Amino acid sequence: MSDQKDHPNFGHLSLRQAEIDGPIDLRYSRFATKPDFFRLKTSSYIDLEGAILEKGIKASSMEAPQGVDFYRATLGGGLDLEGSKIGDRLRIARCGTINGSLVLRGCEIGGELECYDMTVSGPAFLSGMLVEGDISIRNLSFSGDVQCFYTVSNRSMDISDCRFLDRVDCEGLRVAHDLIWDGAIFQQNAIFDKADMFGFIEGTAIFHGEASFTRTIFRSPTTIRACVRGVDLRETRFEAGTTLLLRYATVDMSGAVLAGPTNLVALSRPFQGLFNEPLEESAQLAGDPRVKLVDVNSVDTSSLTLTDIDLTHCRFAGAFNLDKLRLEGAWTFNNPPSKRIGLTPFIWTKRKIIEEERQWRALHRHSRPLRSGWGDPPSHEQDVPGLAALTTIYRQLRKGREDAKDEPGANDFYYGEMEMRRHSQEWRKAERWLLQAYWLLSGYGLRASRAFAWLGITMALTIILMMGFGLPQDPIKQEAIGTISDAGRRVTLEIEKQAPKNPSGARFTSKRLEKAINVTLNSAVFRSSGQDLTRAGTYIEMASRIVQPALLALGILAIRGRIKRGN
């Protein structure tokens, strides 16, 4: 039966397990029920251009050496080509909406797979395909899950301008040339675990959820551009170096293998589209566009460069060659509690700290005042590295900043290194007391305010002690004692200096204050004041000439460390 335009109308058509020598031309045909092409074999091609398949089509395991064409077909139900062997090309394009599932699972396509300009309302099963040519899936909207397990494209794969409204799973995907995802939007999580990428990744994709590349291999140098909530790069292998240009992302790189130079860059401005207009970012991605790195465990960081990356919650334990990690731009670390928490008496020194130290200080084994303000402790105490490991991490980070000629940046890591050394020593050891004094007096030679505060205290104490005990009561008198010889008229005189006497009257007078200040200021620069002092005053001056210059030197050293720049 045919319509007015001489197009065939089929109530039901079954070519199940049929073998046809020649092409099958069903262009613009209408099928009221689902045609059955199960295991259909043709020696040529199957053409369903413009066909109206009111209930969809079941054509699994069919063979068409010269290709299958669904161009402008209307699919009121699903399209099932599972296990089919198709030669030159499979084209499913401009079909409006496929009201059902798209099943290409296990297909072998000798040429290209073309799917573009349509909507798939159900799930898409694209797993296990072997496509010798390009996979071109452009400008499609997928309402359901998309499964693309272990599909192989021996050329490029293009998913430009596709919108994936549900989960996408491309585990084991193998692309022999380029992966093009320019303008692709993933509304939910996307999985590319264990994928094998031989070429470039072109364009910019937007992920409203997370993108996982666990155990994926990138065999060529490439640049990955994406707006994404989270990126899982655990055990990912970058064989030739890669640049990751990201926005909004939280990145986990634990166990990644960086065989070539790898750059992780937080892009501050929106990505550019084809005509240099800003790429539209949805409200789901609104907020802070900074990129956060959270773990580099087991990573050789000697070839890793981080630019404008937030390292507030990054775990460095287990990483290799941290001294060669390059930090560029406005990188940030965590800070101690900025103000007194509750009734705790501690006000912590402002500096950069690593996440492992924060977790260590938050452990329940510390007293409540010591752990207040340090956040939540880890679930398991054994997850926190020992103090020796924390000391090593800080030491390597410090060396890296020193090699980069960033002396001020290295100072905070040196402070952290010394803190971990101090806490790792037991009180019965002399080193703990030395480090404790070094910390208390000058913050390990890095806190000028602390050193100058102690200097002021010691100078004030010296002035008070000098006025009270060090200055004699009266000026020292000299007496001349001698004899006069009449014979030779020689006069012999002996000058005797009276011993200074401790004051017994008013000690705190303006005159004595002036003398005490003179003694104290001279002591601060290793000079003797020349004042006559009591025995107690002599010892006080000796002590101040040791302590005060040392504190002055520590204060100057701390100032120099803050303003110094490398050559």
DSSP 137-173: EEEEEE-S-EE-TT-EESS-EE-TT-EE-S-EE-TT-
Q: Could you tell me which residues come within 8 angstroms of residue 552 by beta carbon, excluding any fewer than 6 positions away? A: 451, 455, 524, 525
Tokens at 104, concatenated: 């290409």
Query: Which amino acid is residue 483, in one-letter code?
Result: T
Q: Give the model's pLDDT for residue 539.
A: 75
Q: In what helix (H) or strand (E) does residue 124 lie, and over which residues does it extend?
A: strand 124-125
Do residues 409 and 401 touch, judged by C-beta distance below 8 A? yes
Q: Give the model's pLDDT for residue 83.
A: 96
Q: Give the model's pLDDT for residue 343.
A: 46
DSSP 473-535: SSPPPEEEEEEE-TTT--EEEEEEEPPP----S--S-HHHHHHHHHHHHHHTTT--------H
Q: Give the model's pLDDT for residue 566.
A: 45
Whole-angstrom distance, CA of residue 221 vs CA of residue 236: 14
Whole-angstrom distance, CA of residue 252 vs CA of residue 235: 10
Bridge partners (DSSP) of residue 225 are 204, 245
pLDDT values of the chain reduced to their tens digit, one per residue, 567 residues: 445 466 788 888 999 999 999 999 999 999 999 999 999 999 999 999 999 999 999 999 999 999 999 999 999 999 999 999 999 999 999 999 999 999 999 999 999 999 999 999 999 999 999 999 999 999 999 999 999 999 999 999 999 999 999 999 999 999 999 999 999 999 999 999 999 999 999 999 999 999 999 999 999 999 999 999 999 999 999 999 899 999 999 999 999 999 999 999 999 888 876 566 667 776 667 677 899 999 999 999 999 999 999 999 999 999 999 999 999 999 999 988 876 555 444 567 788 999 999 999 999 888 887 888 888 888 888 889 999 999 999 999 999 999 998 888 888 899 999 999 999 888 888 888 988 888 888 888 888 888 888 888 888 887 777 777 766 665 555 555 555 555 555 555 555 555 555 565 566 666 666 666 676 666 666 555 556 667 777 777 777 777 777 778 777 877 776 666 543
Whole-angstrom distance, CA of residue 32 vs CA of residue 231: 47
